Amino acid sequence: MKFFDQPPSFLFFTGKGGVGKTSLACATALYLADAGKKVLLVSTDPASNVGQVLGMTIGNVITTVDAVPGLSALEIDPQAAAQLYRDKIVTPVRGVLPDAVVQGIEEQLSGACTTEVAAFDEFTALLTDSSVVDAYDHIVFDTAPTGHTIRLLQLPGAWSGFLENAQGDASCLGPLAGLEKQQSRYKAAVEALSDPTRTRLILVARAQTSTLREANRTHEELAAIGFKQQYLVVNGVLSHADAQGDALALAIEGREQATLAAMPTTLQSLPIDQVPLKSFNLVGIPMLRGLLSDAPLAPTQSDILSHPQSPDLASLVDGLIGDGHGLIMLMGKGGVGKTTLAAAIAVELASRGHAVHLTTSDPAAHLTETLEGTLPHFTVSRIDPQVETERYRQHVLDTKGSALDKDGRALLEEDLRSPCTEEIAVFQAFSRLIREADQKFVIMDTAPTGHTLLLLDATGAYHREVARQTQKGAEPPTTPMMRLQDSRQTKVLIVTLAETTPVLEAANLQNDLRRAKIEPWAWIINNSLALAHPTSALLKQRAAGEWAQIDKVASTLAHRWAVVPLQAQEPVGIDRLRMLARH
345 and 270 belong to one structural domain: no
Give the CATH number, domain containing residue 414.
Answer: 3.40.50.300
**Which of 235, 260, 291 corresponds to the end of one domain?**
291
Say whether 245 is catalytic: no
- Compute the mean pLDDT over every residue in the chain, rounded to the nearest whole number: 81
Distance, CA of 74 to CA of 278 (rounded, Å): 27
| Res 480: pLDDT | 78
Is residue 359 among the annotated active site residues? no
* CA max distance for the chain: 76
In terms of Cβ atoms closer than 10 Å to its own Cβ (0-12, 13-18, 19+), residue 97 is: middle
What percent of the residues of the chain are helix, what percent strand, and what percent coil, each to the nearest 5? 50, 15, 35
pLDDT tens digit sequence for 497-519: 998 878 888 998 898 888 878 89
Local structure of 244: helix, strand or coil: coil
149 an active-site residue?
no
Domain co-membership, 165 together with 92 = yes
383 touches 430 (CB < 8 A): yes
pLDDT one-digit tens code per residue, 242-256: 999 999 999 999 999
Is residue 23 annotated as part of the catalytic site, yes or no?
yes
pLDDT for 305 equals: 46
- The single residue of 23, 44, 72, 459 carrying the catalytic annotation is 23
User: Is the pLDDT reported for residue 48 higher than 70?
Assistant: no
167 CB contacts (<8 Å, ≥6 apart)? Answer: 411
Residue 240 maps to a domain = yes
Residue 378, helix vs strand vs coil: strand
Catalytic residue (choose from 14, 16, 22, 326)? 22
pLDDT beyond 90 at 207: yes
* Catalytic position from the list 21, 333, 338, 491: 21
| pLDDT, position 557 | 97
Greater model confidence, 371 or 202: 202
In a domain, residue 298? The reply is no
In-domain check, residue 211: yes
- Do the domain assignments include residue 307? no
What average pLDDT does range 70-81 have in this prediction? Answer: 86
Above 60 in pLDDT, residue 50? yes
In a domain, 222, yes or no: yes
Chain segment 79-130, per-residue pLDDT in tens? 777 788 788 878 888 888 888 778 767 766 766 566 666 777 777 788 888 8
Q: CB-hemisphere CA count at 13 Å for 477?
A: 10
Based on the fold, state whether residues 287 and 317 are members of the same structural domain.
no
SS3 of residue 141 by DSSP: strand
Residues 247 and 339 in one domain: no
Given a cut of 90, whether residue 148 has pLDDT beyond it is no
Residue 303 resides in a domain: no
The mean pLDDT of 278-299, rounded to a whole number, is 76
Q: What is the pLDDT of residue 468?
A: 66
428 vs 434: CA distance, rounded Å: 10
Q: Of 291, 326, 355, which residue constitutes the final position of a domain?
A: 291
Catalytic residue chosen out of the listed positions 340, 501, 528, 536: 501
227 and 161, same domain (yes or no): yes
Query: Are 281 and 421 found together in one domain?
Result: no
Q: Cα–Cα–Cα angle for 127, 415, 182, nearest 5°?
A: 25
Residue 573 confidence (pLDDT) above 90? no
How large a percentage of the chain has pLDDT more than 70?
79
β-pairing verdict for 71-75 and 170-171: unpaired
pLDDT in tens, 213-269: 889 988 988 887 777 789 999 999 999 999 999 999 999 999 999 999 999 999 999
CA distance 442 to 351: 15
Instruction: Judge if 482 and 518 occupy the same domain.
Output: yes
Catalytic residue among 15, 17, 20, 335: 20
Are residue 276 and residue 328 in the same domain, yes or no?
Answer: no
Q: Which helix (H) or strand (E) holds 199?
A: strand 199-206
Beta carbons of 446 and 492 less than 8 angstroms apart: no
Q: Is 490 tagged catalytic?
A: no
The predicted structure's pLDDT at residue 484: 85
H-type helices in 470-572, by residue range? 480-485, 500-515, 537-544, 546-552
Cα-only R_g, the chain:
24
Beta pairing partners, 207: none
Question: Do 339 and 261 sit in the same domain of this protein?
Answer: no
pLDDT in tens, 362-404: 655 566 767 777 788 899 888 887 888 899 889 889 988 888 8
Catalytic annotation, pick one of 18, 70, 111, 147: 18
Is residue 439 a contact partner of residue 377, using CB atoms and an 8 Å limit? no
Three-state DSSP class for residue 427: helix
Give the closest residue to 264 by CA, choosing from 232, 235, 229, 238. Answer: 232
Give the least confident one: 268-272, 455-459, 488-492, 537-541: 455-459
Q: Where are the alpha helices (DSSP H) in 16-67?
A: 21-34, 50-54
> Does residue 452 sit within a domain?
yes
Taking the C-alpha atoms of residue 444 and residue 430, their distance in angstroms, rounded to an integer, is 10
Strand partners for 272: 232
Q: 59 an active-site residue?
A: no
CA distance 7 to 214: 24
| 125 in any annotated domain | yes
Show the domain range for 40.
2-291
What are the start-end ranges of the E strands in 143-181?
A: 170-171, 174-175
Please tell me whether residues 356 and 269 are part of one structural domain.
Answer: no
Per-residue pLDDT reduced to its tens digit, 167-194? 433 344 443 445 555 667 777 877 887 8
Q: Which of 54-58, 412-416, 442-446 has the lowest mean pLDDT?
A: 412-416
22 is known as an active-site residue: yes
| pLDDT at site 107 | 65
Q: How many domains does the chain have?
A: 2
In this structure, which amino acid lies at residue 169?
D
Residues 432, 551 within the same domain: yes
* Of residues 289, 285, 287, the one with CA closest to residue 67: 285
Percent of the chain past pLDDT 90, that is, above it, reads 36
Give the DSSP letter string of 57-107: ---SS-EE-TTSTTEEEEE--HHHHHHHHHHHHHGGGBTTB-HHHHHHHHH
Please tell me the distance from the alpha carbon of residue 222 to that of residue 157, in angstroms, as a whole number: 12
Question: Which candidate in 16, 43, 45, 421 is catalytic?
Answer: 45
Asked if residue 182 and residue 114 are part of one domain, the reply reads yes
pLDDT band at 293; cut points 50, 70, 90: confident
Q: Which of 142-156, 310-324, 543-557 has the lowest mean pLDDT?
A: 142-156
